[in-house]
Structure 1
């Protein structure tokens, strides 16, 4: 079965909040035309709050969290633009993020509510191949109501195979290795107290960039001989202008060529372009751009295009990234119910 995608077009999967959490119905598929315009989304699979998604490297399987108190992760077989559930595994409380190891051998799940990190073994075709190995979190931070205990929020993969995880509740970056199917803690890096690390990326230059939800900053970490140990070498604001009010940073993404990094900030409702300095050793915020809606959570950079999921306004806004790295609105935002995550199909 064909994908229905023509030359110059790109298909995307969209995760949403459902039920009490939002107005979505599950996982949607949408198409970006060659001119950047988005076509109306189509429901690809009904699911309960599939708020974050990940694709197997072979593109034959899609994974989604079920972000609830009794959380789960689901696997779907991808056939063209269709999804068929082929497995599920229990997760902790409020699983909120997924990533796949570069070789496709494991799915890494961050459980916000319970603070645990899970590694689910995967078969070559992307299907679940066993039960997850679970690493418990620990610690807390000074922010009452948000840092009462560990809150694992995201993972990223370093070039040496280390899995880096951000713990918003404990102000830690934890480094793991998978050894004979088990998650082994390789090291912990404390971050500024009360910062609340949320999402992270590894720059091609080797540095790790972390956006903090509670302090509205971006931290740059340098590996100390390897990614088991890191040190903070730079800190800059997450927005070019003071965010003010109840600003909460959400996502961080790498731009094409690694020359710019982009963040989204809820409350201020902006996406920010950050110039990369010294090969990734520092960042400089250069411009805030209105996100095209309310409460921007995820964003995806696709070459010259950027798509921003504005959860509370039920829109996905498209931007064209100029030569100066600054996103410029492109067309009218697309109506999508409670969008949270946007990834390429």
Structure 2
């Protein structure tokens, strides 16, 4: 099975030279459990192509050039060769993610540096053209809410989840239904011990995902928001915001076949469950910690679903582990199952390929494959490993 690899180039202190290719077994094999081999670069590009995505129909790849703050398209001209398709389109500071619309008519870039969420039009050939920046996010907690009580929706969801979990797992449910004493965090506007105001919180857009019926969801890990939009030819129209706990840091999200949306939080190491009501309004309906054994200084990264949707896998940087959570009931209940070694340093990204989990080690410059136990859902150890320069994304090739 073939994958395209994104990575950090020298401008962001990485070792990659552009977009590369990774083989897991034979290129045409539908399974990814065979030996791993890095096949070199398919196109050399500066600016750190940290995230890559494919056009739904055409043989075109799109890269979020994080270091350059731009989006670039590449057309495939051979089995493992691409060339630039048009010029890079500036979108914002530290563009870290790009999502392509199901109809191939547009894409959305998310920028960590300045919080920009940008709608970019694609022409008939798939080349990006005009870019429109969406309405900026504002801090839902304001300047004086470092010690705010838990939001009612989060409290109700936590209480319901604790009851459903029972005595054995109730202690793992986040305490969003319980009042706590004010504890200013590093990004709050509360006073520091020396009497000086801390730096204000800033927007950090991190991912976008196209949902059914033209709805788009985006995460803002700086302001603890999941924002919902209506995508159209003129750009993105705001629909709704869901506020997560202060300092949780929503990073990436996945849609379950049940329609639930799972959001992994980089800073609080949790997964929140969101669902729409009959009118299409989204609320938090559940959630769970990735594991009771996550270290306070860890940061969560990618979130992936098993092939049958019965398990979630969360990557954890620092302790370099993969957390497994079981999906229960109608998809709204999550149960932590296991925490295992990722096999790499700084697991920035991972992807499920049937019975195999491929994990990209950004700092160890390698990719490891782990066998997934289809009965328990838990990764069972390293199957293969190969050197890959500063990998940050793995995209299955068509």
Name the residue aligned to 1:343: 395
Name the residue aligned to 1:201: 254
Write the distance in 2 (CA, Å) between the matches of 1:57 and 1:226. 29
The 5 Å alignment of 1:64-213 reads 64-68=63-67, 70-79=68-77, 80-87=79-86, 88-128=88-128, 130-140=129-139, 143-145=185-187, 148-213=201-266
**Alpha-carbon spacing, 1:43–1:149, altered in 2? closer, same or farther (3 Å):** same
* 3-state SS of 1:325 partner: coil
Write the distance in 2 (CA, Å) between the matches of 1:223 and 1:154. 19
* 3-state SS of 1:52 partner: strand
Name the residue aligned to 1:296: 347
Task: Give the number of the structure whose alpha-carbon radius of gyration is greater.
Answer: 2
Indicate yes or no: 2:262 matched with 1:214: no
Deviation readout 1:210-247 (Å, 9 max, x if unpaired): 000011111001112355x31111121113x4211411
Contact 1:308/1:316 (CA < 8 Å) preserved in 2?
yes
The 5 Å alignment of 1:318-333 reads 318-323=369-374, 324-333=376-385
* Structure 1 position 183, deviation (Å): 1.1
Contact 1:295/1:312 (CA < 8 Å) preserved in 2?
yes
* Structure 1 position 59, deviation (Å): 4.8
Unaligned runs of 5+ in 1: 1-9
* Structure 1 position 319, deviation (Å): 1.3
Write the distance in 1 (CA, Å) between the matches of 2:83 and 2:17. 15
Q: Match for 1:44 among 42, 45, 48?
A: 42
The 5 Å alignment of 1:277-292 reads 277-292=328-343
**Alpha-carbon spacing, 1:238–1:178, altered in 2? closer, same or farther (3 Å):** same
* Structure 1 position 62, deviation (Å): 0.2
Write the distance in 1 (CA, Å) between the matches of 2:380 and 2:4. 23
* 3-state SS of 1:331 partner: strand
How does the TM-score come out when normalised to structure 2?
0.80
Indicate yes or no: 2:251 matched with 1:253: no
Name the residue aligned to 1:6: none
Contact 1:115/1:136 (CA < 8 Å) preserved in 2?
no
* 3-state SS of 2:49 partner: coil
Contact 2:96/2:111 (CA < 8 Å) preserved in 1?
yes
* 3-state SS of 2:377 partner: coil
Deviation readout 1:72-117 (Å, 9 max, x if unpaired): 1110001321110012211100000111111211111101111111
Unaligned runs of 5+ in 2: 147-184, 189-199
How does the TM-score come out when normalised to structure 1?
0.92
Write the distance in 1 (CA, Å) between the matches of 2:351 and 2:58. 17
The 5 Å alignment of 1:6-17 reads 10-17=1-8
Contact 2:22/2:39 (CA < 8 Å) preserved in 1?
yes
Write the distance in 1 (CA, Å) between the matches of 2:101 and 2:60. 14
* 3-state SS of 1:96 partner: strand
Which segment drifts farther, 16-25 or 168-177?
Answer: 16-25
Name the residue aligned to 1:308: 359
Contact 1:36/1:305 (CA < 8 Å) preserved in 2?
no
* Structure 1 position 148, deviation (Å): 2.0
* Structure 1 position 134, deviation (Å): 1.0
**Alpha-carbon spacing, 1:56–1:226, altered in 2? closer, same or farther (3 Å):** farther
Name the residue aligned to 2:386: 334
Which segment drifts farther, 89-98 or 178-187?
Answer: 178-187
Deviation readout 1:233-283 (Å, 9 max, x if unpaired): 1121113x4211411000111110211111101012111121111121111
